[in-house]
Amino acid sequence: MDYRPHYPLALRMLSTLIDSFLALGGMCIVTLVFTNALLRGAAGFDLAWSLEVTAFLLLWTTFLGAAAAMARGAHMRVTEIVENLVPRIAQRGLALVIDLIILALLCSLIWYGVSIAGHSWAQKTTVLYWPVGLLYASLPVGMSLALVFHVFNLVGDLRRPADWAKTDSDLDAPL
């Protein structure tokens, strides 16, 4: 279920900003790869910097995409076993346990991502001389945003009845 209509305005705006960056980043990746392949095949040379820019964009769109998916409640999950084998009364408790595990995982990824980015910040890329830590910073930034969305989703799930998504009437919220 899409949680975004239930977010406060600032969080909906953040989600929209992330979505815009993802669309722009995806278009830039496709354009750079296509242009570089065309130049390599037709003109016999390539844009050396395009590989580094594409790698940066790909990593940033990957981890920001994880945050966007968290805002939508769109992460893959296997619900067949839970829905058919776990008693209905225990399903909400199991969902809470899973949400807490996700919280711990996100915090762990943020912690190690900051460490990796910090240790590699002094290294520079070959062509553009950008800090390699900027590439690795995509992990803690993306997971921090995912954590913010996940906390709002978790609090919303705890405050509302178990079937609140079925009676959702706030789908027309702006942004």
Q: Is residue 68 part of a domain?
A: yes
Where the chain has pLDDT below 70, the residues are: 161-175
Q: Is residue 171 part of a domain?
A: no
Amino acid 153: pLDDT: 92
Segments forming the whole domain that contains residue 128: 4-162
Q: Is residue 22 part of a domain?
A: yes
Own/partner long-range contacts of 11-15 (Cβ < 8 Å, ≥24 apart): 11/71, 11/148, 11/149, 11/152, 12/173, 12/174, 12/175, 13/175, 14/145, 14/148, 15/68, 15/71, 15/149, 15/175
Amino acid 156: pLDDT: 87
Amino acid 175: pLDDT: 58
Amino acid 169: pLDDT: 47
Strand partners, 131: 124
Question: In this structure, how many other beta carbons lie within 10 angstroms of the beta carbon of residue 134?
Answer: 15
Q: Is residue 92 part of a domain?
A: yes
Could you give the number of structural domains in the chain? 1
Q: Is residue 49 part of a domain?
A: yes
Amino acid 84: pLDDT: 85
Type and span of the H or E element at 58: helix 48-72
* Nearest CA-CA partner of 19 in 65, 85, 78: 65
Q: Is residue 125 part of a domain?
A: yes
Amino acid 120: pLDDT: 97
pTM: 0.86
- For residue 41, what is the DSSP state? I
* Nearest CA-CA partner of 22 in 55, 84, 53, 67: 67
Q: Is residue 168 part of a domain?
A: no
Which tens digit of pLDDT belongs to each residue from 22-50?
A: 999 999 999 999 999 999 999 999 999 99
Q: Is residue 66 part of a domain?
A: yes
